[in-house]
Amino acid sequence: MIPVVVELPAGPVRPARQGDAQALFALSRAFVASGELRPRPLAHYRARIGEFLLAEGAPGEGPAGCVAVRDEGGDGAVLHNFCVEHGSQGRGIGSALLRAALDRARRGGAVRLFTATTGPARLFLRNGFAPVAPERAPAAWAAALDPARGSRVYELRL
């Protein structure tokens, strides 16, 4: 796989490496506490590290953000665990992560890209995602969504 690198004011977006699992886990904890992400053990990040893209923070700091892209077979892929450290929001990091994720999904052969969020989805809507019924998404992924969290599903045709 060709690494995706997008330059940001705070550093590049790059594929995560095994040594990044702990930092991704730590970054995600604030979003778990707020209910924006589901809790996942450190082992999840270690096992799925190859799915993650990471936005570097300032030198000596942890990552500024991350997103995972998972191939769901056929022509579909999903984005998950998308988060930007609260102090880094509003600086284009989410947009850079999304661009890198879209590139990765396209290069992987995806034609349809799905995500789910409990938030307002402004970034996704600005970038062409549209709300869809969960039944349009890959079945195994959609079945794993927790209806009690109020997630809405969005699709982008690549």
pLDDT tens digits, 97-116: 999 999 999 999 999 999 99
Confidence check: pLDDT of 13 > 60: yes
Alpha helix stretches (DSSP H) within the chain:
21-33, 42-47, 93-107, 122-126, 139-143
pLDDT confidence bin for 28, thresholds 50/70/90: very high
Residue pair 45/17 in contact (Cβ under 8 Å)? The answer is no
Task: For 116-139, write each residue's pLDDT tens digit.
Answer: 998 899 999 999 999 999 999 999
pLDDT confidence bin for 2, thresholds 50/70/90: very low
Helix, strand, or coil (residue 104): helix
pLDDT confidence bin for 4, thresholds 50/70/90: low
What pLDDT does 88 receive? 86
What pLDDT does 72 receive? 94
Task: For 36-95, write each residue's pLDDT tens digit.
Answer: 888 999 999 999 999 999 998 888 788 999 999 999 988 999 999 999 998 888 889 999
Maximum Cα interatomic distance, the chain, rounded to a whole number of Å = 43
Where do the domains of the chain lie? 13-157
What pLDDT does 8 receive? 42
pTM above 0.75, yes or no: yes
CATH number for the segment(s) 13-157: 3.40.630.30
Going by their DSSP bridges, the two strands 65-71 and 130-132 should be labelled as: unpaired
Residues present in the chain in total: 158
